[in-house]
Amino acid sequence: MFRLPMVPRVLKQLFNKPATNPFPARHLPKSITRFLEKVAAGKAELVLPLEVPEGFRGKIGYNPEGCTACSLCARVCPANAIEVNREEKTVTVYAGHCIQCGQCTEVCPKNNLFMTKEFLTATTDRYSEEMVLT
Ligand code: SF4
Ligand code: SF4
């Protein structure tokens, strides 16, 4: 007998809600800037992002307190996103270069490096203030 095993699944799918979250708008606006202006003016509704799961590797974070400039993090970073100046005991993390592998967070003996839940990091300037952590 001729069978179409996909038919029940396709029919069921027709009545399911889409699994994707239409962030930031239900329909792609022609201009995001104008869309955000409308949101600010209360003329459009922003679809909020979903809560990211535990263990999500977002933008890299750095807390300089207690950092010994040991440079273990820079040694394991495959993207050369970390610069350590051992004389001045300073660390610079270039979030725009980071590939979010998390290796530096595992090797840091002082837990100065951590992965945040932030994922909206698109920028036209990878050296802007918020993308260079010191
Ligand atoms: S591994 Fe940790 S303590 Fe060492 S330089 Fe990097 S951030 Fe600082
Ligand atoms: S998460 Fe990976 S790529 Fe990003 S700074 Fe740390 S080691 Fe480098």
Q: What is the rounded CA–CA span in Å between residue 108 and residue 106? A: 6
Q: Which ligand is nearest to the CA of 121?
A: 2
Ligand 1 binding pocket, CB closer than 6 Å: 67-73, 84, 91, 108, 110, 112-113
Q: Write down all domains in the chain, each with its CATH number in brackets.
A: 17-50 (no CATH), 60-133 (3.30.70.3270)
Q: How far is the CA of 76 from the centre of ligand 2 (A)?
A: 8
State phi, psi for 106 to the nearest 5 degrees.
Answer: -80, -30
Q: Which amino acid is at 104?
A: C
Q: What is the pTM of this model?
A: 0.79
CA 27 to chain centroid = 22
Quick: pLDDT tens for 100-132: 999 999 999 999 999 999 998 889 999 999 999
State phi, psi for 12 to the nearest 5 degrees.
Answer: -60, -40
Quick: pLDDT tens for 76-90: 999 999 999 999 999
